[in-house]
Amino acid sequence: MKWNIRIAMLACLLFIGCVISFGGAKTHEAKIVPATASDPLNAIYIVEGQEIRLVEGRSEIESAPGSASKVITSVFGKPVYGNIDGEGDADAALILTYDPGGSGTFYYVAVALNANGFYLGTRAILLGDRVVPQNISVRNGVIVVNYANRAIGEPMATPPSVATSKYLVLERNVLKEIPSPTEGEAVIDGWVIIGHEVRSFLPCSQERELWLPGNSPALNEVMATYRKALPGRIPYTPLFMTLAGKTTGFTPEGFGAEYEASFFASQQVHVFPQGNCKSDLIYVESPLPGSRIESPLSIWGHARGKWFFEGDFPIALVDANGEYIAQGYATAKSGWMTEMFVPFESVIKFKTARSGSKGTLILKKDNPTELPEFDDALKISVFFNE
């Protein structure tokens, strides 16, 4: 019932004038069956206010009743998959070409949300006319599209040559564009910790924590979001965020003097509690970073097929001293010989460590070659209950 309600709610966000009933009660709702598909290439998207139903990645409709000219919409390249809405299942992001029959070919980006195996297309957001898409990716709930565009004022006959990136996130199942960072800034994933003596950001690309200075435009929003997202958690629990900004030099202010450098955060792009620095390969839905755990511990999430070997991969739990207190395996819940994300689960038992002490859950990529260059692992900080 839960999934049926979610599918209905998502469908209604995409289509105006629809009707659904739960237990006899009617609500304003969309036609669910036509709105869903078992594959992103056969879903319905909204382009320029018009419903576009794809069939094997393509749509052709009359530009006007009785007209011989067609409006052609098709998928450019292949969809990419990742957890976009935070619900666990692998959603899809894709680029659409839209040819209304004139001289232009317009490129859009859209998302197909995975609701228990049914895909619901969103409204598409314009990239540009006759641009050159290069790649699209999903990273901790943020969609990144890289493409070549023209400089402002250049004629359409000029080949696109300006490297451009567009960042998008899903808010209440609506795809929204994030303002592009200013010159010299970048969009960066990492861990934020806010506390009495700590105000830090640890980018995925670095090994040192950076101080978040008081003059950062996004600081108040970051602090408020941190406290709202982690109510009741143990102090100094890391929260995964995507921030726009730049690394700056040493800051002599207060506790900032203990850090070698700072991060000037101009914009809070996205907050993704289940995010991590390896989300293109594996993400865990439970336990989340900073969770209190006890034995037996249930673990589940999604990993790409190459993270498994023979359908499983090793899991370990270590205490604050790095001592192993539990080891086991996570098992694929569907076919693992694929490049796609595969659901996994595991249950491990352990002797409880000191209450409140810190531990680390380690999910290791299975490496049958035993060659160190193929090793990989995701580490999640947790705390022990009594």
Dihedral sign for Cα atoms in the order 40, 41, 47, 53: negative
Q: Is pLDDT above 80 for 8?
A: no
Candidates 59, 65, 33; CA nearest to 45 is 59
Candidates 95, 47, 99; CA nearest to 70 is 99
Tell me the pLDDT tens digit for each residue of 296-339: 999 999 999 999 999 999 999 999 899 999 999 999 999 999 99
Q: Is pLDDT above 90 for 378?
A: yes
- 3-state DSSP call for residue 255? helix
Mean residue pLDDT across the chain: 88
Token pair 């193929």: residue = 374
- The number of residues in the chain equals 386
pTM assigned to the model: 0.83
**pLDDT score for 9:** 47
Q: How far is CA 358 from CA 187, 209, 291, 303, 322, in A?
A: 30, 19, 10, 25, 10
Q: Which are the contacts of 196, defined by CB distance < 8 A and separation ≥ 6?
A: 235
Beta-bridge mates of residue 238: none
Q: Is pLDDT above 90 for 73?
A: yes
Instruction: Work out the pLDDT band at 235, boundaries 50, 70, 90.
Output: confident
**pLDDT score for 254:** 84
Question: How far apart are alpha carbons 91 and 160 in whole angstroms?
Answer: 30
Q: Is pLDDT above 70 for 356?
A: no
Q: Is pLDDT above 50 for 118?
A: yes
Question: How far apart are alpha carbons 140 and 82 in whole angstroms?
Answer: 8
Q: Is pLDDT above 90 for 34?
A: no
- 3-state DSSP call for residue 366? coil
**pLDDT score for 1:** 42
Instruction: Work out the pLDDT band at 290, boundaries 50, 70, 90.
Output: confident
How many other C-beta atoms lie within 10 A of the C-beta of residue 375?
A: 11
One-letter amino acid identity for 155?
A: P
Question: How far apart are alpha carbons 279 and 301 in whole angstroms?
Answer: 11
- Going by the DSSP 8-state scheme, the letter that residue 266 receives in this structure is E
Q: How far is CA 321 from CA 23, 202, 352, 357, in A?
A: 54, 22, 14, 10
Candidates 310, 181, 327, 320; CA nearest to 242 is 181
**H/E/C letters for each residue in 274-318?**
CCCCCCCCEEEEECCCCCEECCCEEEEEEEEHHHCECCEEEEEEE
Which range has the worst mean pLDDT, 11-20, 77-86, 99-108, 265-274? 11-20
Q: How far is CA 281 from CA 90, 144, 205, 286, 339, in A?
A: 12, 16, 16, 16, 10
- 3-state DSSP call for residue 176? strand
Instruction: Work out the pLDDT band at 236, boundaries 50, 70, 90.
Output: confident
Q: Is pLDDT above 50 for 5?
A: no
Counting residues of the chain whose pLDDT is more than 70, the rounded percentage is 90
**pLDDT score for 95:** 98
One-letter amino acid identity for 100?
A: P
Beta-bridge mates of residue 70: 62
Tell me the pLDDT tens digit for each residue of 173-222: 899 999 989 999 999 999 999 988 899 999 999 989 999 999 999 999 99
Q: Which backbone phi and psi does 160 adopt, to 5 degrees? A: -60, 135
One-letter amino acid identity for 294?
A: E
Q: Tokens for 241, please give them.
A: 């965020």
Question: How far apart are alpha carbons 110 and 379 in whole angstroms?
Answer: 32
- 3-state DSSP call for residue 109? strand
Q: Tokens for 322, please give them.
A: 């790095």
Candidates 315, 270, 357; CA nearest to 85 is 270
**pLDDT score for 35:** 54
Counting residues of the chain whose pLDDT is more than 90, the rounded percentage is 71
> Is residue 107 within 8 Å of 134, Cβ to Cβ?
no
Q: Which residue has the higher pLDDT, 111 or 386?
A: 111
Q: Tokens for 104, please give them.
A: 């232009």
Q: Which are the contacts of 25, defined by CB distance < 8 A and separation ≥ 6?
A: none
Beta-bridge mates of residue 81: 92
Q: Is 141 left (phi over 0), alpha (psi -120 to 50) or beta?
A: left
Q: Is pLDDT above 90 for 88?
A: no
Instruction: Work out the pLDDT band at 32, boundaries 50, 70, 90.
Output: very low
